[in-house]
Amino acid sequence: MKNIRSISCSTQFCAVIGNPVAHSLSPAIHNAAFEELGLDFVYVACRVEDVKNALAGMRALESFRGMSITIPHKIEAMQHLDEIAAVDRSIGSINTVINVQGKLVGLGTDGPGALKAIVDAEVEIEGKNILMLGGGGASRAIAFTLARNARLGKLSILDIDENMLRELTADLKTGTDTFIQSKLLTASSLAAEMEDADIIIHCTPIGMHPNEDASLIPAELFSPEQVVFDIVYTPLETKLLTEAKSRGLKVISGVDMFINQAVLQFEHFTGVDAPVEVMRRVVLEQLGS
C-alpha cells in the first residue's frame, strides 16, 4: 500500500466501485504495481449505489484518473460516460473508465482477460458448446469476445432475469454469427444444458465471499471431459471448482481472468507496461492469507 506520507495534490488516484466491494483485491494489486514502478498513484475501493453521481464526481476531480467497475454497475455505468469504445458499446458492458481531462472514456477488459485465461489453459473453444450461467455485465463481455474470436458450436445462456436474458440474447444474435440460445435458469433447464456443454462459464456472484459454500451446479450434473471456468476469484478455489476437480474435470480459476483484466486496466490508467508477475504474486498472497 502506498505510504500515506507520500501522497500529495499531484498524486493521481483510481478506485473500484461496486456493491459489495469490501472483498475486492483491486487495491492490493494496483497499489503494489504502482509501488513497484515508482508511480505517483494510489487506488482505493468504494462501495457505491449511486453510479451516476459517482461518475459525476470523477469527472469533476482532475486527479481522479481511473475507475474499475464491478458488480452490479457494469451496464448502468455506460449511461453516464462521454465516450465508449465501439466494440464495448456493441457489447453493452464496460468495467473501466478513464478520466481524460474531464472526459470520461469507458472500455472493457473482462472479455480479453477471460479469453487469455482460456487460451493460457490450453482449452480449445473452436466448435465447442459453451454454457454460460449469468447474463450480467461480465457475461456480456465474455460472450461477445468468445463469439467474435471463434466459431463456437453453440452458446447457451441461463439467468433468472428474463429481461436481461432477452436483451443479451438479442444483442448477441445481432452482433455475432454464433448460434445463441437462452432459457430462464431453473433446475430442469440447468440439467438439460449441462448434458450438451463442453465448457461451462460461471458468471454470477454465487460462491463469492461471503457465500463461499454455495454453487449453482450440483456435482452430479458434471460429465467427463467438461471444462469449468468460474470467474469468481475470491475465494481462490470456489465450491464449484472444488467439486469439478473432484470429478476429474479441467478447471480455470477466476484469478487468471482477474489478473489479466487488471493488467489491461493498469496499462490504461498509467500508460506504461504492468509488472505482471508482481500483480500475480500479490493476488495469490492475498487469497492464500
pLDDT tens for each residue of 200-231 = 999 999 998 788 999 999 999 999 999 999 99
CATH architecture of 111-252: 3-Layer(aba) Sandwich (3.40)
Alpha carbon distance 142, 167 (integer Å): 15
Q: Give every residue of the chain whose pLDDT is below 70, as ranges.
A: 1-5, 289
Residue 155 main-chain phi, psi, to 5 deg: -125, 115
Place of cell 454470477: 204
Query: Strands (DSSP E) along 154-217, which ranges?
Result: 154-159, 180-184, 199-202
Give pLDDT, residue 2: 46
* CA–CA gap between residue 159 and residue 117 (Å, rounded): 23
Q: Domain 4-108+257-288 classified CATH 3.40.50.300?
A: no
Q: How many CA atoms lie within 13 A of 171 on its CB side?
A: 23
Domain borders along the chain are: 4-108+257-288, 111-252
The whole-angstrom separation of Cα 259 and Cα 256 is 5
Domains 4-108+257-288 and 111-252 share a fold: yes
List the catalytic residue out of 2, 74, 116, 239.
Answer: 74
CA distances from 264 to 111, 231, 275 (A): 11, 17, 11
Q: State yes or no: is 128 an active-site residue.
A: no
- Residue pair 168/182 in contact by the 8 Å Cβ criterion: yes
Angle of CA points 101, 102, 106, to nearest 5°:
100
- pLDDT, one tens digit per residue, over 49-64 is 999 999 999 999 999 9
Question: pTM for this structure?
Answer: 0.90
Contacts of 71 (CB under 8 A, 6+ apart): 18, 19, 136, 137, 138, 205
